[in-house]
Amino acid sequence: MLNIIRAHDKMARMQYNSLNQVKRPMKIAVLKTIFVAVFGLAVSVNSANEIDDLDTNHLQRMGFAVESVRESSIQGLYEVITNQGLIYVSRDGQLLMSGRIYDITGPQPENLSDITLNAMRRDNLAEHVDSAIEFKADNEKYVVSVFTDPTCGYCRQLHQQMDSYLDAGITIRYYAWPRSGLQGSAFNQLNAIWCANDPKDAMTRAKSDQSIKQGNCATPVQEHYELGQKFGVRGTPALVLADGRLLPGYLPPSRLVQELNK
């Protein structure tokens, strides 16, 4: 459902940009008006104050499973964490918004939505550490969670440099994210990897085009996939840092260290 909403948002932005190519001064004035109008409604709220009176019937009908609800920084708008990520919903539960909210009162705009998303990713990953396949650095300085697919070229490139990541003090924790969804060869390979007697060896073999014996056991592959969907993963590899930031795509060890030190 969020993919449909994002597609509509993208089309609207394209139309808006096209219209305003010839009216750039007006565009600036309009944006200023929008920021003033929206953030003029901002209210101070207790971030831990959860709401239990939101009508979620419409959200459930659209396939959203609501996990938490609290007031957002905009009056009349609730911040809702769902199985599909973060959305904003009106008090009556009839209007939905997908996007980002910024606080523009400081020297630089602050992405309030990312603060919420980063905290959600941190908390959720802490609950799934035991099901990850971990390549641990001896001199561990950082931990990076990686959503991976053994059929993905850049995932293989990342894995080929595992020794360099470990030497840099980066522990890699793998989570399963089959790009084709919960069926097909990647899904089957990931199940076999997590079912293997030595999952780390199986991961290395799979990413080297070596065969893996198909196992028959309960695996966390579907759970990891749904977790990635909730986090905003749209492809692999997808890296989640210890602070909850999501970095899409492959980064070589030196570049990753730079990101980790930001």
The residues annotated as belonging to the active site are: 149, 152, 155, 179
The bridge status of strand 238-240 relative to strand 142-148 is antiparallel
User: Residue with structure tokens 């089959």?
Assistant: 178
Separation between Cα atoms, residue 119 and residue 221, nearest integer Å? 23
In terms of C-beta density within 10 A (0-12 exposed, 13-18 middle, 19 or more buried), how is residue 256 classed? Answer: buried
Separation between Cα atoms, residue 179 and residue 42, nearest integer Å? 39
Separation between Cα atoms, residue 39 and residue 47, nearest integer Å? 17
Using the 8-state DSSP alphabet, how is residue 159 labeled? Answer: H
Beta-bridge partner residues of 103 = 110
**Per DSSP, which regions of the chain are E strands?**
66-71, 77-82, 85-90, 96-97, 102-103, 110-111, 133-135, 142-148, 170-176, 238-240, 246-248
The bridge status of strand 170-176 relative to strand 133-135 is antiparallel
Concatenated DSSP letters for 160-221? HTHHHHHHTTEEEEEEE--TT-SSSHHHHHHHHHHHSSSHHHHHHHHTTT-------S--SH
Sheet strand arrangement including 238-240: 133-135, 170-176, 142-148, 238-240, 246-248
| C-beta neighbour count of 55 within 10 angstroms | 13
